[in-house]
Every structure is written in C-alpha cells, then in structure tokens.
A and B are shown apart, each in its own frame.
Chain A
C-alpha cells in the first residue's frame, strides 16, 4: 500500500479512544505511535520521524491547539487532523486555517473512521508537496 512507510501519532488522553485509533491505523498498514499528553507527544516527535498527528483538543496540561502552535514551528511538514469530543470547546479559528492542519474538525465519536484516515492521508500529501 502507498501508506506503507507513513507514521501516525495519535494524541488523545482517553485510553480507549487512543487504542481504537491505533488499532485502526495498524490494520491499514500505518506505523503508529501514541501519546497521552501534548508534552509527551512533543517528546515523541523529537525522537521519531512522524508524518501526521491525530490531535485531541482538550487535554490535561497543554491543550491540543497549543500543541499544534508549538510543534508546527519545529516540524513544518507535519500534518495535523483535529478530532475533538468537546463541541463547545471550539479550537481557535487561526488553527484550522493553518496550511498544516486539515480544514475540517472531526467530532468525536466518529461514525466513519475511514474519513479520518482519508483526511490524514490527504493532509500528509499536501504537507509533503509544500515541503518540497
């Protein structure tokens, strides 16, 4: 598959959600990494090469949007897809318009995870094109 070597980092503080994403991406032949907090995710990013991140917004400690703002400066080709369970906790508008972030925010729970995968794949391709 074309995604053979792509690496996804799942950032979500809910264990079952995190695991479901990991399982899903595993099955689709992604390499998967996970992080419970934004701080941990930043640490993982410095250690491992990552293509895209599934970001939850409401997190203990640093928030998802802060995480994106911080990490995108260090990793300018990193792709982000936001998947949040707090509709009232809208991410700031300036996050979704960033070229590295997929323009649609997915609500948790997602009825169709394929759509999330598709979005991540598209965003990674876009970021790679921009990086070149």
Chain B
C-alpha cells in the first residue's frame, strides 16, 4: 500500500511539474506575445479587405460597401470598427454616431502603404488603428482593433486551454493512479506469494514429525524446526547462526560425518544412535541429507526418536522368540510334565506318609519301628521337613505354570472364536480372581470395590473366550497385587492418614466408527513409573520376586490381544495413583 502511494505521488508530482511548465509557456505566449500576433493578423485582414473594397468601389456598388464592412466587424471579434476615407472624406463607416475626429488626424501624412497607430478614446480604452491605402482607388481603409478585445480573446483562449489542460491532467492523474495500482498490486502479489511460499515451506518443515536442522557449509544452523525446539528447548531464533555443535552438543562427535556428507554430496545415515538422557537410553535415527540444488550448499540433518520403535521391535523379536519357544514348550510339555508329576506326586505322598494319622499303614509302620506317629509328626514339624516337601511341590507347580504360559504363545489355528458378551467375560474373570485370592489367603479380593461403567447396547465381540478371560485375569491379578502393595505401604506409612478405598473401574465403550469395543480396567493401586510402564509387555520382565511372577502374564496378554485378535493393548500409569489398561478388540474377527 505504501509503495503504491509513493509511486502515485511521484508520478503526480512529475506530471504537475510538466503541466506547469507547459502551462506557463503557453500563458506567456498567449498573454505577452499575442498582441503583436493579433495585430499582424489584423493587418493581413485589412489588406484583404482593401482588395475587396477596391473591387466594390470600382464596380460602383456602394450599397455593398457597408454590408461588407459590417460583416468584417461582426465576424472578427477583435475588429472593433472599419471606415473608409477617400481624399479626406469619409465614405463609409461602422460607427454608430460618426467617426471620432481623433481618428481622422491620426494618419494625416501617410508615407507608407500601411500604418499602425495607437489611440485612446474618451473612456481610456486603447485601440490600434491599422490604416491601409488602396493604390487603385486612392482610398484609405481604417481597420480598428481593440486592445481589450485582443486580451479578452487571448484570455478566453487561455481559459479554454486551461480547461483542456485540466481535463488532460485529470485523465493523466487517473491513469497514473491506475498505473501505480497495477505496478504495486503486481509487487504486492509477488510479495504475498513469497510470504505464502515461506509460510508453506516452514509449515512443511514444522509439521514434520522429525527434528530437522538445516546447516550451511560453515556448519552453522540455518533452519530449526518446531520439533527441534521441542526436543532441545532452543527456539529457532536462538539456534539460527549458531555452530551446530553448540546448538546440538551431542552432534559434536558427528562433525566429520556432516562435513563428509556435504563435501561428497552423499546421504549419510546413522541408524539407532543411542544416548542417555536423564538416566534413560533413547535411540535416534540420524540422517544427513546434503543439499544438491545449484547455488545452495549445506545439508539438512534429520533426527528421529525411535526409542519406542526400538522397544516395540524388541518386544516383537521377543514375541517371535516366544512363538518358537512356545512351539518347543508344547512339544516338551509332556516330557517335562511327567518328571514334574513324578516329583510332585511323590512329594505329596511323602507328606501324607509322614503326617497322615488316618493311614493305617503309617500307624503300623511306626509301631514296628517303636515310635508313634505323633512323635514322627513332631520331629518332621520341628525339622521343617513338611515345609521342605511343600517347597518341592511349589517349585514344581511354578515350573508347570511357566510351561503352560509359554504354550500360550503358540499361534494355534485350532482356536475357537465365537461371539461373547465382554461384560460377562469380565465378571467371570472377577469371580476367578476372587476365588484365586481367597485360596492364597494373601489379600481379600472382596475388599476391593468394583465400579462398572458400561455403555448401553454394547455389541458382542467375536473372540476366544478362554484366552480373553486369561487376559482379564492377568490384568486383575496385577491390579489386585498393586492395590495390595499400596495398602501395605500406606499402613506402614502415616497411620492417621485415611487411605483411599481400593477399587477397580471397568469401562466398556463402543467405538462404532472403527467397529471396536474399548475395555478399560483401572485400579487405584501403587502404579508404576514411566520406565517400568514402557517395559510391562516385555516377556520375562517382572517387578515381582522370582518366586511370585514369571514375567510372562502381560506379554502373553499383549500377544493374545494383538496377534490373536488383531486388537490393541496399552497401559497408562502414574506412580502412587494407579494403572489403567486399555484393550481395544475388533467386534468382528480380523483376517490375520
């Protein structure tokens, strides 16, 4: 806008100058030099008139004389009067009341053929009297022009010229305005386009999920996108112009690679670079793209945080391992279960024989040995032998449990999918956990309140009920233990403090648009920190003592939901607040 005004103003001033010069030149010509011109033209008119008059007089047509004089006066605005003098006698004139005597004396002795004399009338008006002698007839024709008329005539010219000039000036200004608009709008369009392109480019760069850093040949930062700002906390303004190793200190070891990439104009990628941030290892893919367009030298460094991906890959690798292990476990199960059964059954019988007073054979054998069953019992009890036998059985059942867990990884095709009500499956799992916990007498599951937030009209889900129940069981068992843990720590801690009521929240949500049912199981147990949360689905990862958990429960659950049902499973948690497992199951069976 500014530019447009400027251009317009300049054009206007220039034109004004030109017009003023032209106008003043014209005015000078019209107002100063015009009298001579007019007098000269009047003189030639007078000569022409003389010829006409001569003809008229020679033909003795005197009546024509007066009309031709009047014609002359009427048709030439500057011509004030005409009269003819012949041998000192006036023969015709255009005055109303006779020829003023002053005029007659003006040309008393004419030497030339023509003569111009000035005179003033009684009103002070100035006239020029042009006297021309007709040689053939000896008459003198006086042609009078008024100075006022000449000036008026010039003035009217000047006025009409001014009007024309003004109109031209207006048109010129209008055109120059249009011109300025045109030029500046082109400029504006260009600058808008440039601005738009810049925005577009930085939008593209900023919307990239990767960290993008542009550098020049001097290895100084030229570009710094939003992601880079998020990761480093350095704003693009601060980063631009800084040497790369200052903006990104951990790139210091990569300077050679960067230089090489720029010089050789080849793409350099360094995948899976690990570095430790706040005690956690993060993995990054780093790629250096040299700029190969003409005229621009430098490179773009792209850094992607692939920590999560690496973790997932690790889980996948583990899962695959588990699959083969699962296959192996299935084959081995029989071979291992039998010796385990041998051990555990024998241990059971051992216990029975040492303690059971109801077995007649025991009593008989004791009597034969000269002791009583009571004495044997007491001995066994005091030496802890009964407990030992129990421990043998416990270890055995743990081995058996690991075996059966490992078999869950087998990707069997014989699994039976059918339509089930998830709410019912959840309730069945709750019953299972409840009985399980009552059995172990560790913690009373019934103390935990269960809040059910189920959406109405939930569709049935096609799934394998027994393994889905196993998933719920795993989550509920973990949740219960976590709640128990929190209760314990709060009991040990501040005694006066009222501890929260232990509870589970179940939510079932129908995600119609993606044909899925979302199952949320939330506990208000002890929760876990981010490091643990990221690893909960890893096989053999456990926070429990080795005799309590196999570290397979949640990874099996993940495998079941993801691989067997094509669903999704994730977990959110806050230390000291609780944990939420989110499972999304497709309503129809997915083709896997």
B343 to chain A, nearest CB (A): 7
Interface size counted on chain B using CB atoms at 8 A: 29
Instruction: Kindly state whether residue B334 has any CB partner on chain A within 8 Å.
Output: yes
List chain B residues, Cβ under 8 A from A58: 334
A24 close to B348 (CB less than 8 A):
yes
A24 close to B338 (CB less than 8 A):
no
A110 close to B407 (CB less than 8 A):
no
B341 close to A29 (CB less than 8 A):
no
Task: Name the interface size band of chain A.
Answer: 20 to 34
Instruction: Kindly state whether residue A76 has any CB partner on chain B within 8 Å.
Output: no
B499 to chain A, nearest CB (A): 35
Docked pose: A95 CA to B342 CA in angstroms: 25
Q: Which residue of A lies closest to B353 (CB)?
A: A27
List chain A residues, Cβ under 8 A from B404: 87, 107
Stretch at the interface among B38-46, B371-379, B392-400: B392-400
List chain B residues, Cβ under 8 A from A14: 338-339, 341-342
B368 to chain A, nearest CB (A): 16
List chain A residues, Cβ under 8 A from B341: 14, 16-17, 20, 85, 108-110
Q: Which residue of A lies closest to B360 (CB)?
A: A29
B397 close to A108 (CB less than 8 A):
no
Q: Give per-residue flags for B336-379: 1 if the beta carbon is below 8 A from chain A beta carbons, else 0.
A: 01111111111011001100100111100000000000000000
B344 close to A16 (CB less than 8 A):
no
Given contacts A14-B341, A28-B359, contact A87 B349 (CB under 8 A): no
Instruction: Kindly state whether residue B333 has any CB partner on chain A within 8 Å.
Output: yes
B340 close to A109 (CB less than 8 A):
yes
Instruction: Kindly state whether residue B219 has any CB partner on chain A within 8 Å.
Output: no
A56 to chain B, nearest CB (A): 8
Given contacts A108-B340, A109-B340, contact A27 B345 (CB under 8 A): no
Given contacts A14-B339, A28-B359, contact A110 B334 (CB under 8 A): no
A20 close to B360 (CB less than 8 A):
no
Which residues of B approach A to under 8 Å, CB–CB? 330, 333-334, 337-346, 348-349, 352-353, 356, 359-362, 393, 396-397, 400, 404, 407, 410
Cβ contacts A to B, 14 pairs, < 8 Å: A16-B345, A17-B342, A20-B346, A20-B348, A24-B352, A27-B359, A87-B407, A109-B344, A109-B400, A110-B345, A111-B397, A112-B348, A113-B345, A113-B349
Which residues of A approach B to under 8 Å, CB–CB? 14-17, 19-21, 23-24, 26-29, 58, 85-89, 107-113
User: What 3 A-B pairs are tightest by C-beta distance, nearest first?
Assistant: A16-B342, A85-B337, A20-B345
- Taking A110-B348, A113-B345 as given, write out 16 further A-B residue pairs in contact, using a Cβ cutoff of 8 Å, ordered by the A residue number: A14-B341, A14-B342, A20-B341, A24-B345, A24-B352, A27-B353, A27-B362, A85-B341, A86-B333, A88-B333, A89-B334, A107-B337, A108-B337, A109-B337, A109-B341, A113-B348
